[in-house]
Amino acid sequence: MSTNRTQVDVESLVDVKNGIQAKRIFWDQQIYDLEIEQIFGKCWQFLTHDSLIPNPGDFTTGYMAEDEVIVTRQDDGSVKAFLNVCTHRGARLVAAEAGNARAFSCTYHGWSFGMDGALKVVPMEEELYRGSLDKSKFGLREIRVESYRGLYYGNFDAQAPSLNDYLGDVKFYLDIWMDINGGIELVGPPSRSLLNCNWKTPAENFVGDAYHVGWTHLASLMALGGELAAIGGNEAPPNEGLGMQVTSRFGHGFGVLWDAAPAVHAINSKAGTLYREWFASRKPKMVEKLGAKVGRIYGSHLNGTVFPNNSYLLGTNTFKLWVPRGPHQIEVFTWAIVEKEMPAELKNAVVSGMNSTFGSAGMLEADDSDNMETMTQNNRGRMTREGKLNSQLGLGFDKLDPDFPGVIGQSAIGETSYRGFYRAYKEIMGADNWKAILKLDPDAWKHELIGQ
C-alpha cells in the first residue's frame, strides 16, 4: 500500500449512507496527494476532441491532473498521447497549446521526437555518444488513450476498464446531445483561468446542482434580460417535479441533471430565432429515435460531470475541464460545444453566448466562482475544516425508471448525483486497484430508494 494510503483514513472522508462528506477533502494536502494517486491515477481524464485535431500532425497540449500531456493525430488517423516531457533532462517539450507539426524538438539540447513519440534525432549523436545511446529506450512516455463519439480521454492505469465500460450508463445521456446532426464539435482554443478552489467544488456543482440556480444566478439571469433566448426544454418532464437528476448505480460517479425549465442562451434575438428554429427542426428526429419520453430532453437544459473532472452544460453549450493545481486551486479550461451541422452564423452566436455566460469572464461563471472559492478557502480555519458537509437533499426518495438508466432523483433540485459522485470517490480512493473497485458491493446505492 502506498504511503499516502496508509496516512489517510478514507473511511472517515465520506459517509455514503447518510450523504455526508468531511470538509477536509477540500483542503488537506495528504488527501489531495491520495486523490492524485487514486482518482487521477486510475480514472479516465478528458484530453481533446476530434474537431480540435482533425489532420495528421495536429496536436493539442493540456493536463492530466498535474502531468502535462501532448495529444497528436497520427498519419494513420489514430490519436496518441504522451507526457509533454523531454526524456533527456526533463524540460517541457511543447510550449504551444495547439498546432501542426512533423516532429517535436526540445528547446534545451535539441533532442527531437516523431509524432509517434519515438526519439529520432539527438544533436551530435555520433561525435558525443559514440554509438552508446540506445534511442529506442528514450521515446516519450505514452499514455493509454480511448475515445467515445470523438471525445478522447487518457488513463495512466493499464488495468482500468475500457472507456466504454467506464462511462457505462452515462453514454445514454451523452448520446442525447452527441449522437445527432453528425455529432458535436468543441470550439477552441479553450479559455483558461485560475480559480482558488478545490477541483471537487465545480465538479460536484456540475454533477447536479439545480438548487443554487435560483439564489446564485437569479440576479444575473434577470440582468441578461432581453438577450435571453429560451429554447425548447419547457415541456412536461419525464419525472414529476422540476426535472430529474441521475447518478450511476455503481461506481464511476457520473451525474446528470435535466432541468424542465427552459434552457436559455445569452444570444441576441436574431440568433435566438435561429437557435429555436434549429432545435424545433431537429427535435422530431430525436423523438423518433429515442421515443417521446427521452427524445424531448434534446435541446433542453442538461448538465453533468464525467467523473472525476470533466463537465458540460447544454443550454449554454459549455464544456469544462477542472484541472487540479494543488488542493486549493484549479485551472479551468472552457470550450464551446456546437453541433457539426449548425450553420456558421449560429455556431458563432453560440460561442459568443457561451463566453458571456460560462466563459472565463462570463457572468454566470463569476457568480459561481465566488461560492467555489469561499467553499474551499474558509477551510483555512482549523475548526471549519473539522466540520461536515451535507448532501442529503432527496435521500430516500430516489427511484428507478425503466426508460432511464441509473438512480433517478425525484427532481432536478436534489443531491442524488452528489451522493453518487462521493460514493465513487470513496470507492476509488480506498481500493488497491480496479479489480478491487469492481468487486465492491453493486447494491451500495439501494438505501437511496424510496421505501428502503
Of 9, 109, 165, 403, catalytic = 109
The yes-or-no answer on residue 209 being catalytic is yes
149 binds, among Fe ion, ligand FES, none (CB under 5 to 8 A by kind): none
The contacts of residue 128 (CB under 8 Å, 6+ apart) are none
Task: Give least dist CB 292 to ligand FES, A.
Answer: 59
Whether 53 and 35 have beta carbons less than 8 Å apart is answered as: no
Query: From CA 310, how far away is CA 202, in angstroms rounded?
Result: 10
Whether 200 and 230 have beta carbons less than 8 Å apart is answered as: no
Indicate the residue among 140 and 203 with the shorter CB distance to ligand FES: 140
The yes-or-no answer on residue 443 being catalytic is no
Positions 66 through 105 that interact with ligand FES (CB under 6 A): 86, 88-89, 91
The yes-or-no answer on residue 265 being catalytic is no
Helix ranges (H only) for 179-320 are 200-208, 218-224, 269-290, 292-295
Pairing of strands 142-148, 58-64: unpaired
> Mask: binding to Fe ion, 345-374, rule CB under 5 A, as x and -?
-----------------------x------
Of 67, 209, 259, 367, catalytic = 209
Q: Rule CB under 6 A: choose which of 111, 275, 307, 418 binds ligand FES.
A: 111
Indicate the residue among 106 and 187 with the shorter CB distance to ligand FES: 106
34 binds, among ligand FES, Fe ion, none (CB under 5 to 8 A by kind): none
Is the four-CA dihedral 307, 310, 314, 315 of positive or negative sign?
positive
Does position 108 interact with ligand FES (CB under 6 A)? The reply is yes
Whether 62 and 26 have beta carbons less than 8 Å apart is answered as: no
43 binds, among Fe ion, ligand FES, none (CB under 5 to 8 A by kind): none
Of 88, 212, 401, 447, catalytic = 212
Q: Which amino acid is at 261?
A: A
Count how many residues are written for the chain. 452
The yes-or-no answer on residue 109 being catalytic is yes
H/E/C letters for each residue in 384-395? HHCCEEECCCCC
Task: Give least dist CB 350 to Fe ion, A.
Answer: 19
115-128 as b/e: b if 16+ CB within 10 A: bbbebbebeeeeee
Indicate the residue among 206 and 275 with the shorter CB distance to Fe ion: 206
Catalytically active residues, by annotation = 109, 209, 212, 217, 368
Residues forming the site for ligand FES (CB under 6 A): 86, 88-89, 91, 106, 108-111
Residues forming the site for Fe ion (CB under 5 A): 368
